[in-house]
Chains A and B, each alone.
Chain A
């Protein structure tokens, strides 16, 4: 069995979860003043996720740290916002990665094998001045690294032999972070109808408020005024929300989003900032890619976003709405919607003015 301190570090592990389960704490128990610290910390975990995108770790009080995790999960589940779930999973995963980085190889290996079923061996190889402590089966490697776009993560740039890829410890923990994030996300994205007792509901209401107050600034952080957020077609706004909440975007989604933003007039610097701030893409490489799409490099053609039918076949077209039915290209959606918004605005002013003049 796992120690309480260990469980507090990694509360998402199966063993940690069962450690809490045996306590059999009910919702009504939580209302008791003795759980106040746990509730505070749980609320803190979620609000840190919203505000900072990264949760800190407080291991000086293991029981509180451990118990607050399932409570925080419950808050996120109750709030039921996709955007929050993803941002929370990312924040908690970053927290775990932070702690893991300080652990010995054996601990990392144990978690990888028992929790995530990695086929992983401890080795000790030195290549070009770097020490590789792990070899990981390429299928486990790809499951986590295939979405990374930096050249060093490309399989072709790795040392591979007999099906195994050599990894340094920071690389292994970086890949584990992906697994952890997916795991936590799977916990919090199961919709559940939970009837919270009043004192708990107060806390979720507070969190809902923090979320709604900050959501726009998180998602729209670096967007200049030229891009009209309300006019984004569903596919693009979904991809964008996904990006800022730490979801792994597929090739097509990334390409559609980037080329769309470029064509909608967003500055390259700003796009780079958005990408770098919410993911761990290497800035230089991200810039390179974006400049490529913008036609500043390589073939010198400025790419336009794919058509709706292409996006549809790649599964990027989600929740198309009424406007979607009349257009064939996301940029036409955008232009049309802007025009509609402007007309609405004019009409509203038109309505307002006579009233004033009366």
Chain B
């Protein structure tokens, strides 16, 4: 069989079609659907069908049934005329959208399940591809990226932190203003729908991104001032004033000698930290943040803070949020690279939500596929693989997942 048939797209497409024959009736339209643009990718298609608008739910579901697309998106933006070309659409506003994707994290599990191969010299390695190939210095790679419960848990944890910030600091309601969707692949999307975000321009959205990621944060604006001022501890304050104190507390409490060296702290600063660790932690809990300067210089604090805030920030993608015309995956539709469902997850259920159990669309049945190579795959409470150059009969959901990542082909 031809090399390019890895993935058996025709087979996946048939299954998607079969799924949508009944599954289309569960596709939920976004709010104010007539002002939204929709976009679709078909199997094997290179370009996106976009500038599509629907009058009502029936029309949208009819489309899903008829075309059974590989990927389904809708705009975070509202338009006067979603079907017009970009210049003539008439932008009316947009939801505030956040994308959390484990692909952008650095996780130990990626060293186990992700792999790159240099397209030039064939050099291989595990984890994220390097900037340049270590043996030939070229920058073209074939990447085999997989995912596991660890990546998904990490993504969920970031989503949870984001929700905390949106609720506590931005004042949004967990029910009503916010919705969380599992992306159907490696992450989560958080949508804020509220009149206060609709008209925000890109610059304002950029500021919100910086807030969530703690970019540009300076300790002096959160009580870490060198002059003596009155006031108490900020551990139970609000916003980043509280988070900076907690972040430092957690970070310094767990800081190892190697960690200190990684921060490039001078020997004297490291010794002072070791000696006063307990006093510093106590200061953070009991006193005004300015008390910390009894134990460290401004420079040391800044280094510690820069590293510490990462624990409190949420790792969102910066581009998605600032793009006010972005297309986002529609819930209850299939993801062409996994065969899983993009799903809305009620916020109270998020802690217990396990996409590897709940987003499975293809239940029942098996398929025999010939597999190139996969790491261990967890799905539906079972573990499969690793596989290499073998033919196996697998549950349909697992087979679809492997085909979606182009790591196998159907044996017929």
Chain A residues near B (Cβ < 8 Å): 126-129, 137-139, 142-143, 145-147, 151-152, 154-164, 250-251
Partner of A163, one of B172, B203, B207, B290: B172
Asked if A143 and B204 make an inter-chain contact with CB atoms under 8 angstroms apart, the answer reads: yes
Partner of A128, one of B201, B207, B231: B231
Asked if B207 and A146 make an inter-chain contact with CB atoms under 8 angstroms apart, the answer reads: yes
**B210: interface (CB < 8 Å):** yes
Asked if A160 and B229 make an inter-chain contact with CB atoms under 8 angstroms apart, the answer reads: no
Partner of B211, one of A147, A152, A156: A156
Closest to A160 in B: B239
Expressed in whole angstroms, the Cα–Cα distance for A142 and B198 within the complex equals: 13
Closest to B221 in A: A157
Within the complex, the shortest CB–CB distance from A251 to chain B, in Å, comes to: 7
When distances are taken between beta carbons in the complex, the residues of chain A under 8 Å from B290 are 128
**B225: interface (CB < 8 Å):** yes
| Chain A residues touching B, majority SS | mixed
Asked if B207 and A155 make an inter-chain contact with CB atoms under 8 angstroms apart, the answer reads: yes
Within the complex, the shortest CB–CB distance from B385 to chain A, in Å, comes to: 44
Asked if A156 and B197 make an inter-chain contact with CB atoms under 8 angstroms apart, the answer reads: no
When distances are taken between beta carbons in the complex, the residues of chain A under 8 Å from B203 are 142, 146-147, 250-251
Asked if B204 and A129 make an inter-chain contact with CB atoms under 8 angstroms apart, the answer reads: no
When distances are taken between beta carbons in the complex, the residues of chain A under 8 Å from B221 are 151-152, 157-158
Asked if A159 and B239 make an inter-chain contact with CB atoms under 8 angstroms apart, the answer reads: yes
Expressed in whole angstroms, the Cα–Cα distance for A250 and B200 within the complex equals: 14
Asked if A161 and B169 make an inter-chain contact with CB atoms under 8 angstroms apart, the answer reads: yes
Expressed in whole angstroms, the Cα–Cα distance for A138 and B241 within the complex equals: 16
Given contacts A160-B239, A162-B171, A250-B203, contact A155 B211 (CB under 8 A): yes
What would 5 A/B residue contacts be, using CB atoms closer than 8 Å? A129-B230, A137-B196, A139-B200, A157-B240, A163-B172
When distances are taken between beta carbons in the complex, the residues of chain B under 8 Å from A154 are 207, 210, 216-217
Within the complex, the shortest CB–CB distance from A27 to chain B, in Å, comes to: 37
When distances are taken between beta carbons in the complex, the residues of chain A under 8 Å from B201 are 143, 146
Within the complex, the shortest CB–CB distance from B324 to chain A, in Å, comes to: 13
**B168: interface (CB < 8 Å):** yes
Asked if B229 and A155 make an inter-chain contact with CB atoms under 8 angstroms apart, the answer reads: no
When distances are taken between beta carbons in the complex, the residues of chain B under 8 Å from A157 are 216-218, 221-222, 240
Interface residues of B in 134-182 (CB under 8 A from A): 168-172
The 8 residue pairs across chains A and B that have the minimum distance between CB atoms: A163-B171, A142-B204, A157-B221, A161-B238, A162-B171, A139-B196, A129-B229, A146-B203
Expressed in whole angstroms, the Cα–Cα distance for A126 and B227 within the complex equals: 16
B55-94 to A contact mask, C-beta < 8 Å, 1/0: 0000000000000000000000000000000000000000
Expressed in whole angstroms, the Cα–Cα distance for A160 and B229 within the complex equals: 20
When distances are taken between beta carbons in the complex, the residues of chain B under 8 Å from A164 are 171
Apart from A154-B216, A157-B222, A160-B239, what are 17 other A-B pairs with CB-CB below 8 Å?
A: A126-B231, A128-B290, A138-B170, A138-B196, A139-B204, A143-B201, A143-B204, A146-B204, A151-B221, A156-B207, A156-B210, A156-B240, A157-B216, A161-B238, A161-B239, A163-B169, A163-B171
Partner of A155, one of B171, B172, B208, B241: B208
Expressed in whole angstroms, the Cα–Cα distance for A143 and B205 within the complex equals: 10
Asked if B218 and A151 make an inter-chain contact with CB atoms under 8 angstroms apart, the answer reads: yes
**B326: interface (CB < 8 Å):** no
B245-280 to A contact mask, C-beta < 8 Å, 1/0: 000000000000000000000000000000000000
Given contacts A127-B223, A142-B200, contact A156 B171 (CB under 8 A): no
Within the complex, the shortest CB–CB distance from A319 to chain B, in Å, comes to: 17
Asked if A158 and B239 make an inter-chain contact with CB atoms under 8 angstroms apart, the answer reads: yes
When distances are taken between beta carbons in the complex, the residues of chain B under 8 Å from A143 are 200-201, 204
Asked if A146 and B206 make an inter-chain contact with CB atoms under 8 angstroms apart, the answer reads: yes
Given contacts A127-B231, A250-B203, contact A155 B210 (CB under 8 A): yes
Asked if B238 and A159 make an inter-chain contact with CB atoms under 8 angstroms apart, the answer reads: yes
Asked if A163 and B239 make an inter-chain contact with CB atoms under 8 angstroms apart, the answer reads: no
Asked if A163 and B170 make an inter-chain contact with CB atoms under 8 angstroms apart, the answer reads: yes
Closest to A119 in B: B196
Within the complex, the shortest CB–CB distance from A317 to chain B, in Å, comes to: 15
Within the complex, the shortest CB–CB distance from A1 to chain B, in Å, comes to: 31
When distances are taken between beta carbons in the complex, the residues of chain A under 8 Å from B210 are 154-156
Closest to A144 in B: B204
**B215: interface (CB < 8 Å):** yes
Expressed in whole angstroms, the Cα–Cα distance for A147 and B229 within the complex equals: 30
Within the complex, the shortest CB–CB distance from B242 to chain A, in Å, comes to: 9
Most buried by A among B204, B229, B230, B240: B204
**B214: interface (CB < 8 Å):** yes
Expressed in whole angstroms, the Cα–Cα distance for A164 and B238 within the complex equals: 11
Interface residues of B in 281-310 (CB under 8 A from A): 290
Given contacts A129-B230, A160-B239, contact A142 B216 (CB under 8 A): no
Within the complex, the shortest CB–CB distance from A155 to chain B, in Å, comes to: 5
Expressed in whole angstroms, the Cα–Cα distance for A155 and B208 within the complex equals: 7
Most buried by B among A138, A156, A159, A163: A156
When distances are taken between beta carbons in the complex, the residues of chain A under 8 Å from B217 are 154, 156-157
When distances are taken between beta carbons in the complex, the residues of chain A under 8 Å from B207 are 142, 145-146, 154-156
Expressed in whole angstroms, the Cα–Cα distance for A250 and B203 within the complex equals: 8
Within the complex, the shortest CB–CB distance from B236 to chain A, in Å, comes to: 12
When distances are taken between beta carbons in the complex, the residues of chain B under 8 Å from A251 are 203, 206
When distances are taken between beta carbons in the complex, the residues of chain B under 8 Å from A142 are 200, 203-204, 207-208
When distances are taken between beta carbons in the complex, the residues of chain B under 8 Å from A139 are 196-197, 199-200, 204
B85-114 to A contact mask, C-beta < 8 Å, 1/0: 000000000000000000000000000000
Expressed in whole angstroms, the Cα–Cα distance for A146 and B231 within the complex equals: 29
Asked if A159 and B241 make an inter-chain contact with CB atoms under 8 angstroms apart, the answer reads: yes
Within the complex, the shortest CB–CB distance from A30 to chain B, in Å, comes to: 39
When distances are taken between beta carbons in the complex, the residues of chain A under 8 Å from B197 are 139
Expressed in whole angstroms, the Cα–Cα distance for A250 and B206 within the complex equals: 12
Within the complex, the shortest CB–CB distance from A179 to chain B, in Å, comes to: 14
Closest to A130 in B: B229
When distances are taken between beta carbons in the complex, the residues of chain B under 8 Å from A128 are 223, 225, 229, 231, 290
When distances are taken between beta carbons in the complex, the residues of chain A under 8 Å from B171 are 161-164
Expressed in whole angstroms, the Cα–Cα distance for A146 and B201 within the complex equals: 9
Expressed in whole angstroms, the Cα–Cα distance for A337 and B283 within the complex equals: 63
Expressed in whole angstroms, the Cα–Cα distance for A138 and B214 within the complex equals: 16
When distances are taken between beta carbons in the complex, the residues of chain B under 8 Å from A145 are 207
Expressed in whole angstroms, the Cα–Cα distance for A112 and B153 within the complex equals: 45
When distances are taken between beta carbons in the complex, the residues of chain A under 8 Å from B222 are 157
Closest to A248 in B: B203
Within the complex, the shortest CB–CB distance from A13 to chain B, in Å, comes to: 23
Expressed in whole angstroms, the Cα–Cα distance for A154 and B225 within the complex equals: 17
Expressed in whole angstroms, the Cα–Cα distance for A47 and B172 within the complex equals: 48
Partner of B214, one of A127, A152, A156, A159: A156
